A and B are shown apart, each in its own frame.
Chain A
Amino acid sequence: DADVTQTPRNRITKTGKRIMLECSQTKGHDRMYWYRQDPGLGLRLIYYSFDVKDINKGEISDGYSVSRQAQAKFSLSLESAIPNQTALYFCATSIQGSNQPQHFGDGTRLSIL
């Protein structure tokens, strides 16, 4: 079983719809992150959380929100999806400490028409 599980793996939806991407982990890590990956732009940090009560904006948080429901769960929402949010979205986790490796899920491919 995957340590970092993202659901759904693929989603096609329409402009204006509310979308939720979910991430769960069995690694027992405190830190969780959401990134998006676009061709030619690499990965960019959307939001990150160091524990259940800690949420921080990343490089590109506009148009997104997150919820850390438990240590093991971190969800990303697009309140009103727009086509330029079409991308590959990754969740990652790490333990506390100085730049511990981030462990990534296999991504959600999101297309907004």
Chain B
Amino acid sequence: QKEVEQDPGPLSVPEGAIVSLNCTYSNSAFQYFMWYRQYSRKGPELLMYTYSSGNKEDGRFTAQVDKSSKYISLFIRDSQPSDSATYLCAMSVDNTGKLIFGQGTTLQVKP
């Protein structure tokens, strides 16, 4: 079993929909949680970063961490075609930068 599990999708939604992307993990020592977005033929770019449990909001994006359930989510409100990409969750135990990534979920937002 992988340490971090993420539904690979693909996920297809109409423009304007609310999107929910999720990851589960098995290592209770994870403290730092990130979401990266990766466009086709590009490297991942950091979208959201959360330390420990709680919510964080940035514009149309909200990241949630539930450490008791070992579950993290990324919500995208009012989704746009430009949000079409692969979304990767990543997490780490400490501040060394050694990240464990999920498999990535491919999202398509249709106009």
Question: Contact residues of A with B, CB < 8 Å?
Answer: 4, 31, 33, 40-45, 48, 58-59, 90, 92, 94, 97-107
Contact = CB atoms under 8 A, between A and B. Distances in A.
Give the interface residue-count category, chain B. Answer: 20 to 34
Contacts of B46: 101-103
Given A33-B97, A40-B8, A40-B103, A99 B44 contact: no
A31 B97 contact: yes
B97 A42 contact: no
Contacts of B100: 59
Interface string B7-49: 0100000000000000000000000101000000111111001
Interface of B: 4, 6, 8, 32, 34, 41-46, 49, 51, 88, 90, 92, 95, 97-104
7 smallest beta-carbon distances between A and B, as pairs: A104-B43, A98-B95, A42-B101, A101-B46, A43-B101, A42-B103, A99-B32
Contacts of B32: 98-99
Contacts of A101: 34, 46, 49
Q: Chain A CB within 10 Å — which of B97, B100, B101, B102 has the most? A: B97
B49 A42 contact: no
Contacts of A106: 41-43
A2 to B, nearest CB: 9
Contact of B44 (A40, A45, A59, A90): A90
A100 B49 CA distance: 9
26 contacts: A33-B97, A40-B103, A42-B6, A42-B88, A43-B44, A43-B88, A43-B99, A45-B98, A48-B98, A59-B100, A92-B43, A94-B97, A98-B32, A99-B34, A99-B92, A99-B97, A100-B97, A101-B34, A101-B46, A102-B97, A102-B99, A103-B46, A104-B43, A104-B44, A106-B41, A107-B43
